[in-house]
Amino acid sequence: MGPYKRGSRLGGKMEALRRILSAAERVAVAFSGGVDSTFLLAVACETLGKGNVLAVTATGPVFPRRERLFAERFAAGLDVPHVLVPTWDIARDGPYVNAPDRCYRCKAALFEEMTKVARERGFRVVVEGTNASDLREHRPGLRALRELSVGSPLLEAGLEKEEVRSLSKDEGLPTWDRPSTACLATRLPYGALVREEALKQVELAEEFLLDSGYRQVRVRHHGDLARIEVAPEEIPRLVSEVAPVVERLKALGFRYVALDLQGYRTGSMDEAEAVSSAKTGQEGPP
């Protein structure tokens, strides 16, 4: 992949990534369809051959449907085996409290199931797309990866987020400039119950904004109030066409619609002081 000079910094990281994957021989890639996992899947297929790679995608109410559909299309285009793994079923198992350690609990449950599915198909090594830049953010789920011995080849190779984007662009991957994504539960405040109704409100609201041409979108769910985050440069446009946005979000069940003037930023729910752990419902996915 790519016209990278041997001995260059980026070339060295790519060589390291290939060595890591080659040493594994056969890998199951946790594939969300985002920038990092798409790049990792593509490199794994080229390095190991499609017969030695399995794409594994989590499904469930916390994952947007449009992301799953993209993952299915991309995996089909690569002609790589692709398995969908259902996650926590809120409709069946009930809501749970969005505790500060939710990400850790979710990742632990998710990758335990992914590892089981992969091993049933003869893949003993499971890898995912954490990159070196992610270590500078609040990522409690990384502890679950370490506990379950899930590999992070991009991180091990020292690849930063912007380097992954640059490499993806060079290879013509459609995700090179794709906005960052995250599970829908990150739109709810700590202490709130993660309910399917709330997740669906967020998903449909964000889908409306994305379909309207906004690139980077988050709709934070604060009960009756929706707090919209878009990229700072897109704020003037949203202000100019606020009426249809308010109409659509109110039709989804929100009573109030607010625009966050700070614009999109990762982890904005972490800015507020974490709410004391509620005792209603479960503390998180088992």
- The yes-or-no verdict on residue 279 having pLDDT over 60 is no
- The yes-or-no verdict on residue 102 having pLDDT over 50 is yes
Report, as an integer, the average pLDDT of 207-221.
97
Among 140-144, 233-237, 259-263, name the one with the lowest average pLDDT: 140-144
- Domain check: are 112 and 240 in the same one? no
Is residue 126 included in any domain, yes or no? yes
The predicted structure's pLDDT at residue 276: 39
Is residue 89 included in any domain, yes or no? yes
- Domain check: are 222 and 261 in the same one? yes
- Domain check: are 165 and 189 in the same one? no
The beta strands (E) that lie in 64-211 are given as: 82-86, 96-97, 126-127, 193-194
- Domain check: are 49 and 97 in the same one? yes
Q: Which helix (H) or strand (E) holds 69?
A: helix 65-78
- Domain check: are 31 and 149 in the same one? yes
- Domain check: are 35 and 161 in the same one? yes
Q: What percent of the chain has pLDDT over 70?
A: 88
- Give the per-residue SS3 of 165-234: HHHHHHCCCCCCCCCCCCCHHHHCCCCCEECHHHHHHHHHHHHHHHHCCCCCEEEEEECCEEEEEECHHH
Is residue 69 included in any domain, yes or no? yes
| Element counts in the chain: helices (H) and strands (E) | 11, 9
Range of the domain at 92: 9-170
pLDDT tens-digit map of 35-48: 999 999 999 999 99
Cβ pair 124, 214 in contact under 8 A: no
- Domain check: are 147 and 69 in the same one? yes
What rounded mean pLDDT belongs to the chain?
Answer: 90
- Domain check: are 32 and 147 in the same one? yes
- Domain check: are 153 and 221 in the same one? no
Is residue 193 included in any domain, yes or no? yes
Which has more pLDDT, 225 or 278? 225
Report, as an integer, the average pLDDT of 65-75.
96
Phi, psi values for residue 145, rounded to 5°: -65, -45
- Domain check: are 236 and 196 in the same one? yes
Structure tokens at 223: 């009960």
- Domain check: are 161 and 214 in the same one? no
Angle at 283 between CA 279 and CA 286, to 5 degrees: 145
- The yes-or-no verdict on residue 274 having pLDDT over 60 is no
Report, as an integer, the average pLDDT of 96-105.
87
Q: Which helix (H) or strand (E) holds 36?
A: helix 35-48
Which of residues 114, 137, 170 is at a domain's end? 170
- The yes-or-no verdict on residue 96 having pLDDT over 90 is no
pLDDT tens-digit map of 146-177: 999 999 999 999 999 999 999 999 999 999 99
Which of residues 147, 170, 193 is at a domain's end? 170
- How far apart are alpha carbons 176 and 163 in whole angstroms? 10
- The yes-or-no verdict on residue 178 having pLDDT over 90 is yes
Cβ pair 32, 59 in contact under 8 A: no
Is residue 33 included in any domain, yes or no? yes
Query: Using 50, 70 and 90 to split pLDDT, how confident is the model at 141?
Result: confident
Is residue 195 included in any domain, yes or no? yes
Strands 193-194, 225-230: pairing kind:
unpaired
Which of residues 115, 143, 170 is at a domain's end? 170
Which of 148, 111, 110, 152 is closest to 135 using CA atoms?
Answer: 152
Biggest CA–CA distance in the chain, Å, is 58
Highest mean pLDDT among 35-44, 88-97, 187-196: 35-44
Give the domain CATH number at 71: 3.40.50.620
The predicted structure's pLDDT at residue 267: 67
DSSP helix/strand/coil, 84: strand
How many structural domains are present in the chain?
Answer: 2
Is residue 273 included in any domain, yes or no? no
Structure tokens at 171: 């290879």
Is residue 158 included in any domain, yes or no? yes
- Domain check: are 188 and 166 in the same one? no
Give the domain CATH number at 250: 3.30.300
